Chains A and B, each alone.
Chain A
Amino acid sequence: MKYIYLLLISIAIISCEKQDTTITTNDAIVVLAYLYADTPIDSIRVTKTIPYTSEDGLEVIDDLSIIISTADEDILLESIGDGYYRNLDHIIQQETAYSLYFEYNGKEISSQTYIKSSVDVSLSRTEIELDKVELPEIGQGGPGGPGGPGVQPDEEIVDIIWQNDNSDYYFVVIENIEEEPEYVNEFFQQLENDEDRPQRVFRTEPDIMDTYSINSRRELQTYGTYEIIVYRLNTEYAALYNTVGSSTLSIEEPPSNIVNGLGIFTGVTAHTVYLEVNEG
């Protein structure tokens, strides 16, 4: 019997061990900086991460001495409040390397990026005609709904084409720039609530590609002028975009090209073309 007592005592002793599970919260610096080629620097923001337990919301950091540099010059950014910084005098140059540098609480925060050259983008046609889809008469079946991915006749195919010899990442934005465009499908036109209608802006995911075929049934739902912007991206953006993980099974620190901080400092080059969509 004494063995049983020994066993029970051992269990009791071992069971009483205290467990510590402490975590440290560290509100790190977050830099969000896009440098658009051929435009001034006006899209840089510096904040802190929002601690899980915080009730104060986003904490921005103003009045930092942020310097953007090229091989030839240092560009000091102006703090304009709410964590934003800009320098409207400097136009971002293509095919140029840029670096970012500032100090905060004794830490040196820095990063580098490169502005790629824009590419020539062309359309397989700049103008197409789409037949209006009329509402069916009562008794002939239900109204035409959103349907599937779309069935498009040969003459309605539009390809966006560019060169991508370097296997760079691109994404495409297709947007009708008319103020109040008319819908190809009368079903959508007659809807009162704008939220029930198809989106007017379509964006692809960043991918290595040199062509994009517009699905007119899905991406050209309205008549008028479309602005098509092809963005040429850096890999740091594609890496951040591809990082998803919101559960404790797969969560990990997202990639960042900011030294001693989080976020992104990246260059973007864009090329814009236009497409006319007319009623057939």
Chain B
Amino acid sequence: MLKYSFTILLFTFTTSLSAQFDCHVDYKFEDRPLNEVFDRWNKWCKVDIIYDVTEASSLKITGDHDMLPLKKALDFALMDTNLAWKKRDDKTIEVLKKIDAIEFIKITSEYKNTDLETVINIWKWNYKLDIEYNKEDIKGIKIFGKLTDEPMNIAFEKILAATPLEFRIEGDKKVVLYLPEEKKIDLKNIGKVSYDLTVAGVIKDEETGETLPFANVMIKGSEQGTTSNLDGHFTIQNVPSDTATLILSYIGYLGKEFRLLPNYDIEHLELFLNSGSNQMDEITVTAQKKEQIMKQSGISKIGMTTEIASILPSTGEKDIFRSLQLLPGVSGTNESSSGLYVRGGTPDQNLILLDGFTVYHVDHLYGFFSAFNSNAIKDVQLYKGGFESKFGGRLSSVVDITAKDGNSQQFNAGVNLSFLSMNGFVESPFANGKGSFIVTARRSYQSFLYNSLFDSFTGTTEETAEPTPQRGRGGFGQTEVQPTSYFYDLNAKVTYRMSQKDKLTFSFYNGEDDLDNSRIFDSSDAGGPFGGNTNFNFQSDNVDVSNWGNVGTSLKWSRKWSNKFFTNTVASYSNYFSQREQSDITTITREDTTFVRSAGTYEDNDLKDLSLKIDNEYEITSNNKLEFGLQLTNNDIAYSYIQNDTMSLIDRANKATISSFYLQDRITLFDRLILNGGLRATNYSITGKNYLEPRASFTYLLNEKLKFKGAYGQYNQFATRVVREDIQEGSRDFWILADDEFIPTANSTHYILGASYDISNYLFDVELFYKDYGGLSEYTTRFTSSGFGPNQTLNLDEQFFTGTGVAKGAEFLVQKKAGNFTGWLGYTWSEVLYNFPAFGESSFYANQDTRNEFKAVASYRTKKFDLSATFVYGTGRPYTAPVGFYEVELLDGNVEPYFQVSEKNALRYPDYHRMDVSANYNFNLGETKAKIGLSVFNVYNRNNTWYKEYDVIEGELLETDISLLGITPSLYFNWSLH
């Protein structure tokens, strides 16, 4: 604790040192007495270091640094001694014993409307302090708040934060309270300190000018505060005075205190925070606390910046969704999917929003990477459950992603290179900083690492891919091909601030995966023994092409009607597409006649989402915030499965309009109890029904550290993704709309209870959740016969099984929030049981059921290095397996095995565990920034089972474990101008 206090002391004073203290001194000594060193520095820097000669001469220092700033040299010299230094005036430095310094007196006390004079008298008496003040200046000032083990200097800062008074420490025991001259004038004009003020403004990144959403703004010395909205705007009402201090914090950024002054335009503040990423030239390690990169806030809500993805291990692509999978309550063992399994839910039950538009497919490369380019993302908020009324249409969770606006200060560009992809961005201000834009683009290339990942998903060899063998045909004479595959994504955003009150934002996203496993044979290209007739041409095209992805765009108008009333209007379009063509087209040209024969299957799923959202926030009072809005979504979903060009096996097309209105109110009572109640009403055009979804949550602050929380909510989902596991053929999932005939409207009810214990460096959090599911669907296609006799037909029938489910569990989080070493331990116990009458009377464990999951995340950061490691352990997931088999001799003479299968999900894969490590080195390339990193995925090469394959060889059933990715090192290099 002593060390910590000392650090604060350093910060307090080193940040205000004058030029003399920035003078650089030689630090090459060997066992040199400290008094001699001080004398040398006194002369060199023309300062006066005052010290106890006896004490200093008994200490000897050794060092081998060329030149250091004086303040840094003092830090080094006094490190591991019982001495501290502090600035007395512009030219004088005092070295004194730590125990004598006022800063080492600790205070723990609570004041409830106590006169400042009373507090001063108590402190004078208890701590033998000499406190000097003018009685007129402190008259009438009341103190409210709690001090816990605070150093005396911090205690003074806190109690005076909301007053016009300032203080200075003179010597060891003297404190002077005074009213600055400028405030005396103001007070004279105003008559007294202004109370009940409204302070409003916007919070931005100091370096790029990006607005920061969900940043915390607190009034120092009180529990009062707020959070910035999506556009970085905040409003705090009932600020005690126009000289109060605001405490700003945002995930991944250095915290900051901002003192108001009466001459400020307090309703249009522009406040800046620094991410700390551009301070490499400074040798001094700042003592200012950096906000953690992952922050649990509120009920089941977690915020993250993409910085976390750049620190944690990866396979070469920093991936924010993979980082989310390291949180308790989000499954981390689904290596083959970057989709989120949140508290027993499936990925399609998550509402994924990017700048207001819904993203329906979040995977690249068979799910190994998410579709979101971290370079384009500013902020991610994950709501694991119990989410508020302004979100709807999904059963489990919400991931609200805000893309970067682009640098509004200066032009910037950067490149990321890895073994998997090339990733670049360009950002710049325009129109004199009123506007900004950013374009990020990423494309994979088929490196050895890419092919290794690709092969692990498709089962192809590195060199060649065998065409799919066809039963009974022998495959003779077929050509071998190298499949080609790639993914890309493009993000673009343009922001234009029309006025202080209006902002327009245009955001665009396009991401796609392509797979081409086609073969072409053309007789005109063929040699060999069969060449010949020039009037004849034979061409055989085996087309095997898949592509899937998203296009999304939104246009947002943000309007600040007043400091209390904001409106965001978003018009958006989102399109998910998935196409697959697998066909043989034979073209025979004889003389002037061409015959074309084609056979194959064509699948096409196309989802269009056209939406309009109007979200309003109205700060009625500082303790009451009302939000209401309207959301209209038009879904147009088509899915077709065609055989032989003409025969339509499945042809499904649905259109629906989902109209929602919500109202929610957040009330703070007694400064301790925060209640949030809301109602969402939705009309769904296909069923014609209205759906009411009441939701409520509370947070009770028992004291500064301990709080209890709870939430309840009802949720409905109208669009469902049908998952079809076909690993070798890319994404064959498709979206459909509920109709309450074959596909029910899915619903869930969330119950959440929890508590968190938050101390300065650690957070302990526990949440219990229970989710009731109704209207769950499972889908299969089966060949079924209809009719009998000569008119019997075979149909590919879609079968939807419907059922219910329950997901319950407990999540535990212990987080080390601050310091060079940060990270967390997370444990989740959960159980997901489904009950589908079609699969039997008894319930079965859902595919995503994982009983125990433990995660450990650790990162150690210095100025130049980031070292991190993650470990994930999870109980094996359930699966359905053969319990027996039988063989059928088919009419073509082949003998094929068929399996008698177990009860649904009756078995479990072996437990999953994996450790990843990474190291990054940050350095400057001239005036530009660079980073090189090495990451090792699955460092101890654990063979985690992905799935099992079965075959019958000579009458015996053989089981083969198909493993997920083994040890995979990757190297990456990042560069940017700033």
Chain B residues with Cβ under 8 A from A248's Cβ? 879-881, 947-949
Q: Are B906 and A169 in contact (CB under 8 A)?
A: no
Given contacts A147-B477, A236-B785, A246-B899, contact A171 B881 (CB under 8 A): no
Answer whether residue A191 sits at the interface, using C-beta atoms and an 8 A cutoff. Answer: no
Q: How far is the CB of A55 from chain B (nearest CB, A)?
A: 9
Answer whether residue B727 sits at the interface, using C-beta atoms and an 8 A cutoff. Answer: yes
Q: Are A251 and B474 in contact (CB under 8 A)?
A: no
Max chain A CB contacts within 10 Å: which of B590, B727, B789?
B789
Q: Are A114 and B530 in contact (CB under 8 A)?
A: no
Nearest residue, chain A, Cβ from B795: A235
Nearest residue, chain B, Cβ from A136: B529
> Which of B599, B900, B957 meets A28, CB within 8 Å?
B900
Q: Are A34 and B891 in contact (CB under 8 A)?
A: yes
Complex-state Cα separation, A252 to B134, whole angstroms: 86
Q: Are B647 and A208 in contact (CB under 8 A)?
A: yes
Chain A residues with Cβ under 8 A from B536's Cβ? 151, 153-154
> Which of B785, B878, B892, B947 meets A247, CB within 8 Å?
B947
Q: Are A241 and B890 in contact (CB under 8 A)?
A: yes
Q: Are A50 and B810 in contact (CB under 8 A)?
A: no
Chain A residues with Cβ under 8 A from B470's Cβ? 205
Q: Produce 1/0 per residue, B880-923, CB < 8 A to A.
A: 11111110111111000111111100111000000000000000
Q: Are A251 and B533 in contact (CB under 8 A)?
A: no
Q: Are B538 and A152 in contact (CB under 8 A)?
A: yes
Answer whether residue A81 sits at the interface, using C-beta atoms and an 8 A cutoff. Answer: no
Chain A residues with Cβ under 8 A from B784's Cβ? 239, 255
Q: Are A50 and B766 in contact (CB under 8 A)?
A: no
Answer whether residue B755 sits at the interface, using C-beta atoms and an 8 A cutoff. Answer: yes
Q: How far is the CB of B754 from chain A (nearest CB, A)?
A: 11
Nearest residue, chain B, Cβ from A152: B538
Complex-state Cα separation, A36 to B134, whole angstroms: 114
Answer whether residue B121 sits at the interface, using C-beta atoms and an 8 A cutoff. Answer: no
Chain A residues with Cβ under 8 A from B851's Cβ? 17, 19
Q: How far is the CB of A123 from chain B (nearest CB, A)?
A: 18
Nearest residue, chain B, Cβ from A229: B891
Chain A residues with Cβ under 8 A from B521's Cβ? 148-149
Q: Produce 1/0 per residue, A41-77, CB < 8 A to B.
A: 0000001011110100110000000000000000000
Nearest residue, chain B, Cβ from A147: B528
Q: Are A116 and B908 in contact (CB under 8 A)?
A: no
Complex-state Cα separation, A193 to B889, whole angstroms: 27
Chain B residues with Cβ under 8 A from A47's Cβ? 886
The stretch that binds B, out of A84-92, A101-109, A260-268, A271-279, is A260-268
Residues of B772-789 contacting chain A, CB below 8 A: 780, 782-785, 788-789
Complex-state Cα separation, A167 to B888, whole angstroms: 25
Q: Are B528 and A32 in contact (CB under 8 A)?
A: no
Q: Are B794 and A235 in contact (CB under 8 A)?
A: yes
Q: How far is the CB of A256 from chain B (nearest CB, A)?
A: 9
Complex-state Cα separation, A112 to B886, whole angstroms: 21
Residues of A11-57 contacting chain B, CB below 8 A: 11, 14-15, 17, 19, 21-28, 30, 32, 34, 47, 49-52, 54, 57
Residues of A136-189 contacting chain B, CB below 8 A: 136, 144-154, 166-167, 169, 171, 173, 185, 187
Answer whether residue B481 sits at the interface, using C-beta atoms and an 8 A cutoff. Answer: no
Given contacts A249-B947, A263-B888, contact A112 B788 (CB under 8 A): yes
Given contacts A17-B851, A147-B477, A203-B893, contact A50 B950 (CB under 8 A): no
Chain A residues with Cβ under 8 A from B793's Cβ? 167, 235
> Which of A34, A52, A147 meets B529, CB within 8 Å?
A147
Answer whether residue B500 sits at the interface, using C-beta atoms and an 8 A cutoff. Answer: no
Answer whether residue B478 sits at the interface, using C-beta atoms and an 8 A cutoff. Answer: yes
Complex-state Cα separation, A145 to B29, whole angstroms: 82
> Which of B766, B791, B897 meets A10, CB within 8 Å?
B766
Q: Produce 1/0 per residue, B331-369, CB < 8 A to A.
A: 000000000000000000000000000000000000000
Answer whether residue B473 sits at the interface, using C-beta atoms and an 8 A cutoff. Answer: yes
Complex-state Cα separation, A23 to B757, whole angstroms: 43
Q: Produce 1/0 per residue, B417-433, CB < 8 A to A.
A: 00000000000000000
Q: Are A49 and B477 in contact (CB under 8 A)?
A: no
Q: Produce 1/0 per residue, B746-785, CB < 8 A to A.
A: 0000000001010000001010000000000000101111
Given contacts A50-B957, A246-B899, A263-B888, contact A147 B474 (CB under 8 A): no
Q: Produce 1/0 per residue, A188-208, CB < 8 A to B.
A: 000000000011011111011
Complex-state Cα separation, A252 to B778, whole angstroms: 13
Chain B residues with Cβ under 8 A from A146's Cβ? 476-477
Complex-state Cα separation, A238 to B786, whole angstroms: 13
Chain A residues with Cβ under 8 A from B741's Cβ? none
Q: Are A239 and B794 in contact (CB under 8 A)?
A: yes
Residues of B469-485 contacting chain A, CB below 8 A: 470-474, 476-479
Answer whether residue B972 sits at the interface, using C-beta atoms and an 8 A cutoff. Answer: no
Q: Produce 1/0 per residue, B510-548, CB < 8 A to A.
A: 000000000001010010111111001010100000000
Answer whether residue B275 sits at the interface, using C-beta atoms and an 8 A cutoff. Answer: no
Q: Are A171 and B955 in contact (CB under 8 A)?
A: no
Complex-state Cα separation, A27 to B962, whole angstroms: 27
Given contacts A10-B810, A52-B957, A169-B794, contact A15 B473 (CB under 8 A): no
Size of the B side of the interface (Cβ < 8 Å), in residues, is 87
Nearest residue, chain B, Cβ from A234: B792
Complex-state Cα separation, A78 to B884, whole angstroms: 28
Q: Are B726 and A205 in contact (CB under 8 A)?
A: no
Q: How far is the CB of B684 from chain A (nearest CB, A)?
A: 32
Q: Are A97 and B789 in contact (CB under 8 A)?
A: yes
Q: Are A49 and B885 in contact (CB under 8 A)?
A: yes
Q: Are A153 and B947 in contact (CB under 8 A)?
A: no
Nearest residue, chain A, Cβ from B959: A52
Chain A residues with Cβ under 8 A from B789's Cβ? 97, 114
Nearest residue, chain A, Cβ from B961: A248
Nearest residue, chain A, Cβ from B538: A151
Q: Are B766 and A262 in contact (CB under 8 A)?
A: no
Q: How far is the CB of A146 from chain B (nearest CB, A)?
A: 5
Complex-state Cα separation, A21 to B962, whole angstroms: 21
Chain B residues with Cβ under 8 A from A204's Cβ? 472-473
Answer whether residue A237 sits at the interface, using C-beta atoms and an 8 A cutoff. Answer: yes
Q: Are A217 and B852 in contact (CB under 8 A)?
A: no
Chain B residues with Cβ under 8 A from A25's Cβ? 883-884
Complex-state Cα separation, A251 to B903, whole angstroms: 12
Q: Produce 1/0 per residue, B454-490, CB < 8 A to A.
A: 0000000000000000111110111100000000000
Q: Are A247 and B948 in contact (CB under 8 A)?
A: yes
Nearest residue, chain A, Cβ from B591: A154
Complex-state Cα separation, A22 to B902, whole angstroms: 10
Complex-state Cα separation, A234 to B788, whole angstroms: 10
Complex-state Cα separation, A268 to B599, whole angstroms: 25
Q: Are B883 and A218 in contact (CB under 8 A)?
A: no
Complex-state Cα separation, A268 to B889, whole angstroms: 14
Answer whether residue B790 sits at the interface, using C-beta atoms and an 8 A cutoff. Answer: yes
Chain B residues with Cβ under 8 A from A171's Cβ? 891-892
Q: Produce 1/0 per residue, A108-131, CB < 8 A to B.
A: 000010101100000000000000
Complex-state Cα separation, A76 to B471, whole angstroms: 35
Answer whether residue B812 sits at the interface, using C-beta atoms and an 8 A cutoff. Answer: yes
Nearest residue, chain A, Cβ from B789: A114
* A and B contact pairs by CB, cutoff 8 A, 30 listed: A3-B764, A7-B812, A11-B829, A15-B827, A21-B878, A22-B906, A23-B906, A25-B883, A47-B886, A117-B790, A148-B477, A149-B478, A151-B526, A151-B532, A152-B538, A205-B470, A205-B473, A218-B476, A234-B785, A234-B792, A235-B794, A236-B785, A239-B782, A240-B898, A247-B962, A248-B879, A248-B880, A248-B881, A248-B949, A249-B726
Residues of chain A having any CB pair with chain B under 8 Å: 3-4, 7, 10-11, 14-15, 17, 19, 21-28, 30, 32, 34, 47, 49-52, 54, 57-58, 95, 97, 112, 114, 116-117, 133, 136, 144-154, 166-167, 169, 171, 173, 185, 187, 198-199, 201-205, 207-208, 213, 217-218, 231, 233-243, 245-255, 257, 262-264, 268
Supplied contacts A7-B766, A26-B900, A248-B948, 10 more A-B pairs, CB within 8 Å: A11-B829, A52-B957, A147-B526, A149-B538, A151-B533, A205-B470, A239-B785, A242-B783, A251-B899, A252-B782
